[in-house]
Amino acid sequence: MRQKIVAANWKMNMYYMSGIKLISEIVPLIADEVKGDVKVIIAPPFIHLHSAAQLMYGSKKVFLGAQNCFFEEKGAYTGEISAAMLASLGVQYVIVGHSERRNFFNEDDVIISKKIFRVLEDNMQVIYCCGETSVQREAGKHKDVVAKQIETALFWLSKERMQKIIIAYEPVWAIGTGVNATPEQAQEMHAFIRSLIEKKFGAGLAQETSIIYGGSVTPVNAKSLFSCPDVDGGLVGGASLISSDFISIVKAGE
């Protein structure tokens, strides 16, 4: 059985007090209402990581994630945060390759691979994001684009390290737009990604790898997306900022 995962990406939202309030709401709600075996990862902005780690302490279902890190170990990199710093706070997952970082911060395959290396070196897990733009999909190139993203970022990893990777398929046209991929589109791409992993790393690892879907997941569409055989949960942006909506989405992953 693959691990079902619902991860929250708060992006650049929530001030100090409102962030603490949101985590304080989510953690007990999950303990009370979520009975199934779904892992919840919350990736707030850096300013919340310390309080979040304390508020999640002891939870068996909720884990701490970060939205980014730098690829160097330490040193004169003003404004950056290292993977080891995150690990020292109790962070267990780091999102790498998000389309917003590819677009706004010019993160290319080299930078992304270095970040993946660093996160794994520091014994955390990677949530690796991939996905095509609407232009690429309309041109019928979506599978080629995603295959290249998967191959360049992940195919140099050992089998052992690949086990620490969660893949998030996030079509760029669905992120923050209110237009989600249909369950059929998501299933088709997730099955394709799994077939790529199978070819490179074997059927066992492919069957064990959690591939989650991201892009305008809401309480209304979560169940139909997460019920697809190759969709192992979701990466949720906007809807993770409202505790009741997020809990409904987590429950759809049970």
Interface residue list for ligand PEP (CB under 6 A): 9, 170, 175-176, 214-217, 235-239
Task: Say how far apart CA 243 and CA 75 lie, in whole Å.
Answer: 38
Residue 170 known to be catalytic: yes
Which of 63/201 has CB closer to ligand PEP? Answer: 63
Nearest C-alpha neighbor of 82 from the set 71, 91, 94, 95? 71
Which of 9/243 has CB closer to ligand PEP? Answer: 9
Residue 98 known to be catalytic: yes
Among 48, 98, 142, 190, the active-site one is: 98
Among 100, 107, 132, 170, the active-site one is: 170
Residue 50 is encoded by which pair of tokens? 């310390």
Three-state SS for 112?
A: helix
Angle at 198 between CA 132 and CA 149, to 5 degrees: 25
CB of 76 to ligand PEP, least distance (A): 31
CB of 249 to ligand PEP, least distance (A): 9
CB of 100 to ligand PEP, least distance (A): 7
Residue pair 53/19 in contact by the 8 Å Cβ criterion: no
Residue 75 is encoded by which pair of tokens? 């040193």
CB of 7 to ligand PEP, least distance (A): 8
CB of 127 to ligand PEP, least distance (A): 9
Task: Say how far apart CA 250 and CA 6 lie, in whole Å.
Answer: 6
CB of 236 to ligand PEP, least distance (A): 5
Can you give 31-97 as a three-state secondary structure string? HHHCCCCEEEEEECCHHHHHHHHHHHCCCCCEEEEECCCECCCCCCCCCCCEHHHHHHHCCCEEEEC
Residue 140 is encoded by which pair of tokens? 């019928």
Which of 206/236 has CB closer to ligand PEP? Answer: 236
Which of 176/204 has CB closer to ligand PEP? Answer: 176
Which of 7/145 has CB closer to ligand PEP? Answer: 7
Q: What is the sign of the dihedral through the CA atoms of 213, 239, 94 and 101?
A: positive
- Which residue's Cβ has the minimum distance to ligand PEP? 237
Task: Say how far apart CA 190 and CA 169 lie, in whole Å.
Answer: 7
Which of 44/215 has CB closer to ligand PEP? Answer: 215
> What 8-state DSSP symbol labels residue 218?
-
Active site residues: 98, 170
